[in-house]
Structure formats: structure tokens, C-alpha cells
Amino acid sequence: MTEETPGFDEKPDVPSGATPDDAEPKAATSQNSEGTAPAGDGHADPGLVAQLDQVRTALGERTADLQRLQAEYQNYRRRVERDRITVKEIAVANLLTELLPVLDDIGRAREHGELVGGFKSVAESLETVAAKMGLQQFGKEGEPFDPTIHEALMHSYAPDVTETTCVAILQPGYRIGERTIRPARVAVAEPQPGAQTVKEESAEAADDKESGGPDEG
């Protein structure tokens, strides 16, 4: 008695009522259900789109709020820094204003030759410190009178000036940067009344002489 060994030609059992051809579509269907879902019709969910728009709107609003807050902070920093500099300048100006009488005494002592010895060293040190703090002296004889930086205490006429001129510095002026803390107190001289007319007539006569005089008829 020989045993029958199943060979490769044997076909698998097929349920009754089904043909072998029916098994392959079922397997494909099963693989499709376990794998990627079939593509839809390409239309997004309206609810999801609305939520996405809301998120984008909220993000734009928060970004604008952040930018506005940053700009306000930068303006605040600049304002604080400007106020700090202003307060410092005012404090320095008040201190140096109190020292002006001492500097005037030093200037008078120097003019009279009394700035000698230890007093000279102390005076020069004080002037150096004041200069480091930004104090600048101004006012010179012969410069045009400027009412914004000069204070005229004496007035006279002079034939050798063509405009109102500072002819003597009674007290020097002082400034810190562009800020004047004391104007220069000066004596001014104005042109002699009628001197300008005489000069113009003299100039005209000189011109006529150079050109050969007036035309003769």
C-alpha cells in the first residue's frame, strides 16, 4: 500500500459555492482595507477650515500686540534715557552756576597778577575740573554784539566800528554745550551817527576821481 504525498499541483481547498477566481478580489479588498484609505473627493472639512482661519486671525492679532508692545518699550527706554541726560545736565549746570563767582574772582586775581603760589595751583585745578564737566567760557573784545549771548551793560559810539561791537568784556560768559548759563556782560559801541553817510560820500568821491570826474558837457 503506497501513501499519496500531496504535490505542488494540488490546489488549496476552496469553500463550497466559490471559485478560485473569487478569492483574489477578496484578498485585494482585505489588503486595501488594512492599508491606505481610498482617496476622497478632495474637498476639506468646512469646520476645519473655519478653525484654521480663526487660529490664523488670533496669531496675527497676537503678533501685532507683541510688535506694539515692543515699540512702546523702545519709546519708554528712549524717554527714560533722555530724561536721565536732562536731569544730569540740569544738576551739572546748577553746580557750575554756583561756582561762577569763584571763577570770576580767579579771573580778576589773574588780571592783577595775584594768582601765584599755592593759590595758583588750586585755581588752575578748579578751572580744569570745571572744563571737564563741560563748562566753556566765551566773550572776546571786537566780536559783534549778539543779544542772545551778550548782555550790554555800557553803551557808547565809536567812529571806527561799522556795527554794534563788544569793545570790553566786563564779565565773561559761560555755556555748557549749546546751553548758555550766563551771558557775557560787555560794553558795546555803535557806529558814530552820520559816520556811515560820510564814508559813503567819501567813497563816491574817490570813485569819481578815479574815473576822471563827472562828465563835462
Amino acid at 51: Q
Q: Which band of pLDDT confidence, cut at 50, 70 and 90, is reported for residue 182?
A: very high
pLDDT, position 199: 55
Contact call for residues 97 and 111 (beta carbons, < 8 A): no
**To the nearest whole number, what is the mean pLDDT of the chain?**
80
Q: Which residues pair with 173 in a beta bridge?
A: 138
Q: Which band of pLDDT confidence, cut at 50, 70 and 90, is reported for residue 217?
A: very low
pLDDT, position 137: 95
pLDDT, position 211: 61
pLDDT, position 193: 81
More confident residue, 17 or 72: 72
Checking phi first, is residue 43 left (phi over 0); if not, alpha (psi -120 to 50) or beta?
beta
> In this predicted model, what pLDDT tens digit does every residue of 101-115 receive, in sequence order?
999 999 999 999 998
pLDDT, position 29: 47
pLDDT, position 42: 55
DSSP codes, the chain = -PPPPP-TTPPPP--TT--HHHHHHHHHHHHHHHSPPPP--SPPPHHHHHHHHHHHHHHHHHHHHHHHHHHHHHHHHHHHHHHHHHHHHHHHHHHHHHHHHHHHHHHHHHHTT---HHHHHHHHHHHHHHHHTTEEEE--TTSBP-TTTEEEEEEEEETT-SS-EEEEEEE-EEEETTEEEEPEEEEEEEEPTTHHHHHHHHHHHHHHHHTTSSPP-
